[in-house]
Amino acid sequence: MRFFAATAAALVVVAVLARGAQLARAGLLPTWRGAPARLAEAVIGLSAGLGAAQFVGALRLFRPLPLFLAELAAGAACWAIGRLVHVDVDVGDAPASTESDRPALRRHEPAEWAAALLGVGIVAVQWMTHVGAAVGRGMNHPDTLWYHLPFAARFVQNGSFTGLEGIGYVAARWFPFNSQMLHALGMVAYGNDAVSPYLNLAWAALAVLAAWCIGASRDNGPLALLLTAFALGIPAMAGTQPGQASSDIACAALLLAAVALLFEVEDFAPVPMALAGLATGLAISTKVTIAVPVAVLVVGVLVTTLVARRFAVAGLWAGAVAVTGSFWFIRNWAITGSPLPWFDLALGPIRLSATAAEEGPPLSETIFDGDAWESMYRPGLPLGFGRAWPFVLGIAVAGIVLALVKGTRFERLAGLMVLAGLIGHVVTPLTGGLSFVFNLRYLTPVLLLGSVLFARQLPATRAWRTAMSAGVLVLVVVGATSPNREGVAAWPKAYVAVLVLALVVSGFWSGQRYYLDHRYLDAGLHMDEVHEYFRDVTDARVAVFGTDETYPMFGLDGSNRVRRGDDAVIELTDDFCRDWRRAIAGHYDYVVLTQYGVGNYRKPSDWMIRTDAAATRVVEDGDSVVYRLDGALDPSTCPEPATD
């Protein structure tokens, strides 16, 4: 019973938040259409929903009823914004490429779409096999078992975001917890973690949407999708994210969303920049490993807007980042006395000591150690990034170069973000030594951003797009089939078989339902209306005169006994009417008269059937007609003399 109540409540909350986000976007950005509009709505909905949950948790009321009411209130607030706020479309809030300006999808070659859909499909199936493995035996990634889900469970137990002693490790207790909070919301609703294996699929979908937005405005959407699939299919992602509580994909999706929304800005339009700020705050509130690229983004946008003397926009940007990005750091400050308890901080007279220093060697300590490269790092690269690991790094670096050389102001800023992320990884704790291969996933958000920047900057010519699509599709296959060091194979065989069977069965079910719903409807045949009529006729005896194409009249269930009416031995005299009525007699429930094909058909005239009291015309389709017979035809009622 709880399952149905929880599902109903969840659907209500999602519906209210989604509708509220849609209305808010329509009021704030009335000119936006298509994928950018959907991305903006996703950011609005996530900001409202996660903010409501944070508010309830801060009050130590992280319980079903308070959460339900708070989420409804958040959705209603978005709803009110949409109803009350209407931004003047002349103020510059239209995206840089509105729907009417965007290249039409038909401009892409079929080969591009085929490669993109195949690549995304391969990785989607791979991810679902990992979800299937988790559903079949439980989530097994070390970090999921160590602190991601223990923290989520403790949030539920305590009804707040405190009291994490004794689980995880000390430094992790002060990480930002947006991702873990979502798992906790599922636990609150259902009383268990049954939702958790599926959550990262939703984050992956958001990443794909954001990547499409980044590429599509430069007419390279399919290639951006394909490169995203490549990045999501490497072992560092496929081995750690689907079916687990790891937060790297959530972080990557939100970082891509922030950049995608920023790319839609024209002339420092305030609303898109505010939405990009919200997404940026959500990203840093999900995982601190992207602190360096996020800092570059935040400072870069502030400097750009201040130099342009757009002070109000700069304030709006900073405020939006703070609204969604500050909660967990304020929580740390309230509990430990420092927003960043991993570091010793000195801000003028203010000095804050580290109370939960992150332990573990950064890569910088051994980056020039030949023995470390020979024993751990060089073998670790293909285990983390797959057999095509040089392309994983090379494409991202090429994206940096292209963005810096030929990009717009925000594209150059995005290129700097990727560069800063690569450099920042080197000094991040736990990226060197034995942790090297396992924590290469920290790089995946910026590598994914670098990849879509590469797609965005490529010349939008047919030759380039087709050649790159073919090459990247090969990389997708190589990456998605590479072995990894995680607790689940790249393609869990048993679950691949189960998933394929499920897909085949569900696909066949959908296909057969579609086929039956459309079978012989407007098929372009001579007797379409006749065929449509017999779809719902069952167990009837049908005589057909004038054609050999009888199969559609057997009906959906094939139970009608259909035959050519003149195939039987019929003796005709000069009294045709009586002869035909005697031949048909009580042998049939329907008579079909038509003329189609090259056969030599004998058939009664229409009036011979029509004038009998037992016959009712039910279909007339050109020269085809169907009569339902409610009894035996009566030869005695034929006119005298009976002539054809």
Whether 90 shows a pLDDT value over 50: the answer reads no
The per-residue pLDDT for 509 is 75
Average pLDDT over residues 620-642: 86
* Percent of residues, the chain, with pLDDT higher than 90: 63
Read off the pLDDT band of 502 (50, 70, 90). confident
Asked if the model's pLDDT at residue 642 lies above 50, the reply is no
Query: Can you tell me the mean pLDDT for 495-510?
Result: 71
Supply angle C-alpha 31, 37, 42, rounded to 5. 145
- The pLDDT-based confidence of 92 (bands split at 50, 70, 90) is very low
Exposed, middle or buried by CB within 10 Å (0-12, 13-18, 19+), for 194? Answer: middle
pLDDT at residue 88 in the model? 57
* Cα 557 to chain centroid, rounded: 37
List b or e across 23-58, with b for residues whose CB sees 16 or more CB atoms inside 10 angstroms. Answer: bbbbbbbeebeebbbbbbbbbbbbbbbbbbbbbbbb
Beta bridge partners of 591: 543, 627
Provide the whole-model pTM. Answer: 0.78
Calculate mean pLDDT across residues 211-226.
93
Written as six digits, the tokens of 488 are: 């689940």
pLDDT at residue number 641: 59
pLDDT in tens, 555-565: 888 788 988 88
* 17-31, 234-248, 479-493: least confident range: 479-493
* pLDDT tens column, 112-129: 888 999 999 999 999 998
**Which stretches of 521-595 are DSSP H helices?**
528-534, 576-584
The model's confidence at residue 93, banded by pLDDT at 50, 70 and 90, is low
Contact 182, 62 (CB under 8 A): no
User: Which whole number is the average pLDDT over 557-577?
Assistant: 81
pLDDT of the residue at 497 = 67
Residues 252 and 448: their CA atoms lie apart, in Å, by: 7
pLDDT, the chain, mean: 89
**Residue 97 scores a pLDDT above 50:** no
Q: Which carries the bigger pLDDT value, residue 280 or residue 644?
A: 280
- 153-162, 230-239, 579-588, 627-636: segment of lowest average pLDDT: 579-588
Of the two residues 396 and 99, the one the predictor is more confident about is 396
Please state, in angstroms and rounded to a whole number, the distance separating the CA atoms of residues 223 and 279. 24
Tell me the C-alpha distance between 467 and 450, whole Å.
19
Q: Which tokens belong to 393?
A: 């790094």
Q: Which sequence spans correspond to the domains of the chain? A: 2-487, 528-637
Q: How do beta strands 615-621 and 590-593 pair? A: unpaired
**What pLDDT, on a 0 to 100 scale, did the predictor assign at position 101?**
43
